[in-house]
Amino acid sequence: MGKKWILIIVGILILASWQAYYLYSGVHAKPQKKEAEAVELAKKEKNLTSVTNVEHFFKNETYYVVEGKNEHGTDMIVWVGKDKEIFSEIAKKGLSEKQMIDYVKKNHNAVEIIDSRLGMEDEIPLWEVVYIDDQDRYTYYYGYFETGKRYEIYRLKESEQ
């Protein structure tokens, strides 16, 4: 009787593991496929020869931001929208991630930087910087790619109950 229960338990564990793997791979397959499509479009349409980074940006619109070099060795940033619209810019025409973070720290009382990423809204290249400000608010700052100046800002304060 003991061997029978051990086999049943092992069978259930194998089945559960298989289901967990199937669920995990299914959830991750679509974003990876979309990311790969964005990279291929950036290479094809904007002549990127190498890719150094790919990020996703979700706000009102979805974009994949592909960073890399073109055939001339110039650092480029390519924004690929969900409907395959493509925008590109020479990287040095805008602020670097470090420059954007420094700008936000200096001008917006950022105490702790949580995240930063490139994005786009209404065909405007932006930086999104998420941080905690000096009033303990979770803040989403959207600044223009070229200057860092404010496009939009959202501040969230935890409710005190």
97-157 to CATH, choices 3.30.110.60, 3.40.309.10, 3.90.650.10, 3.10.450.40: 3.10.450.40
Find out whether 50 and 69 touch, Cβ atoms under 8 Å. Answer: yes
E strands, the chain, in order: 48-58, 62-70, 75-81, 86-90, 110-121, 124-133, 138-144, 150-156
Of the two residues 125 and 157, the one the predictor is more confident about is 125
Chain segment 35-44, per-residue pLDDT in tens = 888 899 999 9
Strand bridging mode 138-144 / 110-121: unpaired
Domain range 4-91, CATH class: alpha beta
Q: Please, which residues have CB within 8 angstroms of residue 154's CB and are 6 or more apart in sequence? A: 139, 140
Percent of the chain with pLDDT over 90: 60
Range of weakest confidence among 29-43, 115-129, 131-145: 29-43
pLDDT at 26 over 80: no
pLDDT tens by residue, 58-88: 888 899 999 999 999 999 999 999 888 999 9
What is the token pair recorded at 46? 């904007």
Q: Degrees (nearest 5) of the Cα angle 31, 32, 38? A: 90
Domain segments of the chain: what residues? 4-91, 97-157
pLDDT at 131: 96
- Whether 4-91 shares its CATH topology with 97-157 is answered yes
